[in-house]
Structure 1
Amino acid sequence: MSSTTVEELNEPTRSAGSDTAGPKRLGLALLVICAAQLMIVLDGTIVNIALPHIERDLGFSQANLQWVITIYTLAFGGVLLLGGRLGDLYGRRRMFVWGVVLFTVSSLAAGIAQNEQTMLVARAVQGLGGALAAPNALALITTTFPAGKERNKAMGVFAAMSGAGAAIGLILGGALTEIDWRWNFFINLPIGLVVAVLGQRILTESEDGQGSLDVPGAITSIAGLSSLVYGLTHAASTSWGDATTVGFLVAGVVLLAAFVVIETRVSHPLLPMRIPGDRTRGTSNFVMLVVGAGMFAMFYFLGIYIQTILGYSALKTGLAFLPFSVGIVVAAQVASLLVSRVDPRWISGPGAAFAAVGMWGFTHLTPQSTYTADLLPWIVVLAFGLGLIFVPMTLTAVHAVDHEDSSSASAVLNTMQQVGGALGLATLSTIFVNNVADRVAQLTASAPTGGAAPTREQAAAAARAIQAEAFTYGAGRAYLVAAIMIAVAGVITVAFLTVKHDELANDVAAPAHMG
């Protein structure tokens, strides 16, 4: 965040009906909220690079190692809707701070873990803490900052942190793993403690909401989302036809269908259907699901490509994604300035076009490609496009939401991103695996036969060359599908996101009260 932005946001504003304006230093409030969001988002990728070290030190089996990632994803994605509703009912600042505290304490537990059981429990609790904090962080942005210029700038910074968090996680993961993998968790302690203390002192508390907690809705949403996310994650490592995959996907769909029925009949639903049912919000959430699907899969395949094909170290791999983070931050600031003058669809639509072109650029990667000439330009184009998408989509996803629904609307957006990431990885991994197998068979069949038998070294080198060629071919097909997905999201944005920029400027939530 630039110093200019902080200074402008530091000017106090005055809420209607109160003698104070909420936080007197809006810039500091924004730093607190975005620090928490960054900490939560980057945790989805920061641990990836440390997995081999965790496997060795804690005695994980290869089969159980993936649970270090999966159990966090399940807890986070499954509980987001409940976390948002708890904020609406019992106070957004309260749930935000408690979520950060829970996340921080569990980070300490993960960092000192001596066996796989402790690690997995700690990771699950981290996910729960993130599910409490994340939706209420975005809701605090919408209820703390007045609509218009101030909120647009705040959303620009928040969206940049959300979008760049995965890349920053890879950079930090590489650097901290070089020291000790446990620092991937310990890094959260000072950040979490400062955020919790300042959040309690600076952020504005909302009034307790009306109604009671929808327990049947909570149970079916948690079970349904967790089952769906697990089924998608399992499909990525096995196949769509695997019995476990099918069973969890079917169970997830049935439970979520039951959840929708429950929400239409209870007096105080966990997720009021007016939130996703609105055309603007529905379009925004769908687009973020599709874009999230492409982005998370991109990180997965590019991370492998950079390490195995280009031969980069863990630290160098993380640094290779630095331009991605910078590109999103720059584009998010551009979008936050444009959104008060240009309708959202004319920012996100071209952004999707940029992102699709960037993703298409990766389809040309080969084992002989270089980072500077063949990879870096497309990373920059993709990042710039995504930055233009995230800010308008984040604003429109919570457009015209009643004050009492702010956290729930934010939770829907977070949930779409989580489900999108799992869906994208599962779908594009299947495309990747099938194309790799076909390419290996094709290259093996076309290999020259006869003549002198190759030496062991020559045979090994030939096998590595085939695998490298097959990997880039399979990943290229996955990138192509991801590019098409993002392009379609852009068309949907232009066609259906008809909200005007002046409507966003007048999108004023009911004032929060000081705690």
Structure 2
Amino acid sequence: MLVVSCAAEFMVVLDASVVNVALPAIQAGLGFDPTGLQWVVTSYALVFAGFLLLGGRLADLYGRRRVFLAGLLVFTAASVAGGLAVSPAMLVISRGVQALGAAVLAPASLTILTTTFTEGPRRVRALAIWTALASAGGAAGSLLGGVLTEYLTWRATLLINLPIGAIALLLAARALTGDRSESRRTPGYGADGGEPTRRLDMPGAVAATVGLVALTFAVSGAHARGWSSSTTLAALAVAVVGLAVFVADEGWWSPTPLVPLRLFRLRAIIVGNVAMLLAGVTLMPMWYFLSLYMQLSLHLSALDTGLGFLPHTLVTVLVGAWLAPRLMARIPARTLLAAGSLLAAAGFWWQSRIAPTDTYLSGVLGPAVVMSVGCGLLNTPLTTLVTSGVAGDDAGAASGLMNSTKQVGGALGLAALLTVGAAATSTGHLEQGDPAELIAAFSTAFAVMALLMTAVAVLAAVLPAPRHQRCDSGTR
């Protein structure tokens, strides 16, 4: 179950980044305009974020095995449709459907771990492997995307999921045993504590997704249109209404809310998800900006850009899977989270000091090592802290909320950072402009990432310790 869960999360994160290196080729092949190109990435992140809450609840209500297999099937089929796209609209829609499958798959994979491994050292080790492979998926996506784009075509970055998905389906069907959600007297279950009503909160999921898409659309185009334009104001109004409907639905209307309000009685849920939001704002857009920097400013090929991400991959996996769980056995999770966040912030700040005369060795490699050590150290304690103390019946909802928060941060962060970076160019687009303007835009974006990652370190001090660490401390 550990292998299958990690493989699924690796695929989901891989596809969030595999198209980054291929973006210039996609733009040329399908005729994307500079403003529309970001939606190849953003459509995946937004639909993923909006439906992760629903996906997490599906695992609680219908069983992990059934939901896991369904999500994997949708994900694979949509990947094939995207690889065969003949227009920008077809590709963006396919990426959205692909994200819908991923939104079901990702929380199911985490729920399998949190319900299989009880809180303690074994769960820490399992989560360390899961988070390390998730981080590796982001970096490996850039490498794989570069190889496939250079030697085959950008379409291969999506079609590669067909053989991978088929193998994963066979392994999952054999490894995962059937299960039924335990009967409890919680919203969504029968009054006698028997069979669950299995009613899904589709209005909540749709309202959340509409609100997030509208908000991202408003932020991403605000620089070009202006904050006072009718289009921007209309999008903001739709965002406010959508998110207000979501909150009302969760609090009063839905008998089976995607996010039960009882979760927010836990300080780990509130503070941990704020920290996860800020981490998502930095960690996900990082791949987008580094890919553009290496191709547009350093003039590396797609293959060389993919190879340029190898240090990020190797260091993150080594630190996250091997070093972080060993340090967590000796160091409080909050301390390790703060240290990792500060290291990552230092790496982003170093990356922001790039100059037009820099090469890959002077402008990328050094910051890559520092930020990757930091990211490898912070991922495992943050995931452990956010999921600590959650009851088994709410494990899917908590997993969906955590993943959704990270994806929301990534989508909104990318839109906001693109707007901030575009303000440094005369054309208003990062894909265009002279070298000095591009360097200024990238530098500004990485400096903002450094500040936000510093805020994650501050929040670490407010997070409660995991239950098993509190017990150990009391015993000593």
TM range (shorter): 0.7 to 0.9
Distance 1:81 1:58, change over 3 A: same
Matched with 1:47 is 19
Query: How far apart, in 1, do the equivalents of 2:153 and 2:426 lie?
Result: 36
Relative distance call for 1:320 and 1:128 in structure 2 (3 A) is same
Unaligned runs of 5+ in 2: 183-188, 190-196
Aligned to 1:346: 335
Q: CA deviation at 1:81?
A: 1.0
Distance 2:18 2:121 in 1: 33
Q: Aligned equivalents of 1:505 and 1:168: distance in 2?
A: 38
Matched, 1:147 2:119: yes
Aligned to 1:376: 365
Partner residue of 2:102?
130
Task: Using the TM superposition, name which of 384-393 and 297-306 deviates more.
Answer: 297-306
Give the match for residue 460 of structure 1. Answer: none
Which letter maps to 2:117? F
Equivalent position SS for 1:364: coil
Indicate whether 1:291 and 2:257 are aligned: no
Q: Distance in 2 between matches of 1:504 and 1:259?
A: 35
Query: For 1:479 and 1:60, how far apart are their aligned partners in 2?
Result: 26
Q: Could you tell me which amino acid in structure 2 is paired with residue 244 of structure 1?
A: T
C-alpha distance after superposition, 1:481-513 (max 9, x if no partner):
22111111101112x11214634889xxxxxxx
Match for residue 135 of structure 2 among 141, 144, 163 = 163
Distance in 2, matches of 1:116 and 1:426, equals: 19
The Cα of 1:411 is off from its aligned counterpart by 0.9
Query: Judging changes above 3 Å, is the alpha-carbon distance between structure 1 residues 359 and 62 closer, same or farther for their aligned structure 2 residues?
Result: closer
Question: Relative to 1, partners in 2 of residues 1:84 and 1:112: Cα closer, same or farther, differing over 3 Å?
Answer: same
Alignment of structure 1 residues 101-500 onto 2, 5 Å: 101-178=73-150, 179-208=152-181, 210=189, 211=197, 212-235=199-222, 240-265=227-252, 266-333=254-321, 334-437=323-426, 467-494=434-461, 496-500=462-466
Report the equivalent of 2:468: 502
- The question of whether the paired residues in 1 share the 8 Å contact of 2:40 and 2:95 is answered with yes
Q: In 2, distance between residues paired with 1:240 and 1:269? A: 34
Match runs of 1:31-70 below 5 Å: 31-58=3-30, 64-70=36-42
Tell whether the 8 Å contact from 1:84 to 1:411 is kept in structure 2 after alignment: yes
Conservation of the 8 A alpha-carbon contact between 1:355 and 1:486: yes
Letter in 1 for 2:169: A
Give, as a single letter, the amino acid of the residue that structure 2 aligns with 1:475: F
List per-residue Cα deviations over 1:171-224 (Å, max 9, x = no partner): 111100121222111211122112222212212444236343234433423333
Specify whether residues 114 and 303 from structure 1 end up closer, same or farther in structure 2 by C-alpha distance, changes over 3 A only.
Answer: closer
Task: Tell me, yes or no, if the aligned pair for 2:54 and 2:202 is still in contact at 8 Å.
Answer: no
Give the whole-Å Cα distance in 2 for the aligned partners of 1:63 and 1:485: 25
- TM-score, normalised to structure 1, is 0.81
Partner of 1:81: 53
TM-score when normalising by structure 2: 0.87
Structure 1 gap segments, 5+ residues each? 1-28, 440-463, 507-515
Equivalent residues of 1:236, 1:427 under 8 A apart: no
Q: Could you tell me how far apart the structure 1 residues matched to 2:204 and 2:30 are? A: 37
In the aligned structure 1, how far is the partner of 2:82 from the partner of 2:427?
41
| Contact residue 345 and residue 371 of structure 2 kept, 8 A | yes
In the aligned structure 2, how far is the partner of 1:107 from the partner of 1:94?
20
Range moving further from structure 2, 469-478 or 384-393: 469-478
Partner of 2:192 in structure 1? none
Q: Decide which structure has the larger Cα Rg and report it.
A: 1
Q: Secondary structure at the match of 1:49?
A: coil
Does the Cα contact within 8 Å between 2:220 and 2:419 map onto a contact in 1?
no
With 199-208 and 183-192 compared, the bigger mean Cα shift is at: 199-208
Q: RMSD across aligned C-alpha pairs, in angstroms? A: 2.6
Shift of the 287–240 alpha-carbon distance from structure 1 to 2, 3 Å rule, reads farther
Show CA shifts across 1:36-89 (max 9, x none): 111111212212333344444445566654443333333222211111111111
Name the structure 2 match of 1:7: none
One-letter code aligned to 2:258: L
SS of equivalent residue, structure 1 residue 435: coil
Distance 2:426 2:90 in 1: 38
CA distance in 1, matches of 2:129, 2:358: 34
